[in-house]
Amino acid sequence: MDEFLLPLFLLEMVLVPDEVVPLHIFEDRYKEMIGECLEKRDLAPAEAEFGVLYLRGKHAQRVGCTARVKQVVRRYDDGKLDILVVGQRRFEILFTNDERPYLRAAVAFFDDEDDAVPDTPDVEHARTLFRNVLRRLEINADPEGLEREFRRLSFQIAAALPIGLEFKQQVLVMRDERERLRRLAGVMEKLIPALERRERARAKASGNGHLSPEDQGSG
């Protein structure tokens, strides 16, 4: 039975496939869990994943994403760890088991529907918006390195955008890349004007209160 149970890490965050995030492991139960995952990483890599579930208040969501330890950044004398993990597979909880110090669950893994590949114009529109946002947020990312496979593009965008956890959880749950890209494009279309306004405000502030001729003639 144990081999079918996925270790769970309940966090106030949403992880999506291919997203890389840092974690600081300090609770004893999670130090034990991550230690076991690291042992499996060397002996049985296919079994080295743990599940990340979004903890909203006291309630954990039923859909999450597995993570694999990408790098151990630092080991502390008291057993604490700083690690980098990368999102892997999406899953849905079937039932949980609390026989170990950390929660485990039987899960059903899922992917997108077979016909959920978006049209090329929609993909290019999302890429163009994403490049615009990255530039305005001054995020050091290589836009030419955007995922070429349509099925993963939305997760790349969701990982980088400053979006709310509730919306990011919705993106994780969706099984249609077309719908994910459409929703994310809508968010970016609203975000870009807000970022432009912020840039103009910063430009005015850096001018020590002196308005440009264009601004002086407005209003």
Q: With a cut of 70, say whether residue 200 has pLDDT above it.
A: yes
Q: Is residue 15 domain-shared with residue 92, that is, in the same domain?
A: yes
Q: With a cut of 90, say whether residue 158 has pLDDT above it.
A: yes
Identify whether the C-beta of residue 48 lies closer than 8 Å to the C-beta of residue 19: no
> What pLDDT does residue 33 have?
96
> What pLDDT does residue 142 have?
55
- Residue 14 covered by a domain: yes
Q: Is residue 99 domain-shared with residue 185, that is, in the same domain?
A: no
- Residue 187 covered by a domain: yes
Q: Is residue 47 domain-shared with residue 124, that is, in the same domain?
A: no
Identify whether the C-beta of residue 30 lies closer than 8 Å to the C-beta of residue 36: no
Q: Which of 76, 110, 144 is the last residue of a domain?
A: 110
Enclosing domain of residue 165: 120-206
Q: Is residue 125 domain-shared with residue 106, that is, in the same domain?
A: no
pTM of the model: 0.85
Q: Is residue 179 domain-shared with residue 81, that is, in the same domain?
A: no
206 or 215: which carries more pLDDT confidence?
A: 206
Could you tell me whether strands 50-56 and 6-11 are parallel, antiparallel, or unpaired per DSSP bridges? Answer: parallel
Q: Which of 92, 110, 128 is the last residue of a domain?
A: 110
Q: Is residue 67 domain-shared with residue 31, that is, in the same domain?
A: yes
| CA 153/CA 182 separation, integer angstroms | 12
Q: Is residue 144 domain-shared with residue 69, that is, in the same domain?
A: no
- Residue 47 covered by a domain: yes
- Residue 85 covered by a domain: yes
Q: Is residue 11 domain-shared with residue 99, that is, in the same domain?
A: yes
> What pLDDT does residue 128 have?
93
Q: Which of 53, 78, 110 is the last residue of a domain?
A: 110
> What pLDDT does residue 164 have?
94
Band of residue 107 on the pLDDT scale cut at 50, 70, 90: very high
Q: Is residue 28 domain-shared with residue 83, that is, in the same domain?
A: yes
> What pLDDT does residue 56 have?
93
- Residue 216 covered by a domain: no
- Residue 154 covered by a domain: yes
Q: With a cut of 90, say whether residue 85 has pLDDT above it.
A: yes
What length does the chain have?
Answer: 219
Band of residue 120 on the pLDDT scale cut at 50, 70, 90: confident
- Counted domains in the chain: 2
> What pLDDT does residue 149 have?
57
> What pLDDT does residue 213 have?
45
| CA 48/CA 14 separation, integer angstroms | 20
The per-residue pLDDT for range 29-78, each reduced to its tens digit, is 999 999 999 998 877 777 899 999 999 988 999 999 999 999 999 999 99
Domain CATH for 197? 1.20.58.1480
Q: Is residue 97 domain-shared with residue 137, that is, in the same domain?
A: no
Band of residue 148 on the pLDDT scale cut at 50, 70, 90: low
> What pLDDT does residue 139 have?
72
Quick one: the chain helix, strand, coil %, rounded to 5? 45, 25, 30
> What pLDDT does residue 23 have?
97
Q: Is residue 135 domain-shared with residue 77, that is, in the same domain?
A: no
Q: Which residues lie closer than 8 Å to 98 by C-beta, 6 or more apart?
A: 104
Domain CATH for 65? 2.30.130.40
Q: With a cut of 50, say whether residue 19 has pLDDT above it.
A: yes
- Residue 159 covered by a domain: yes
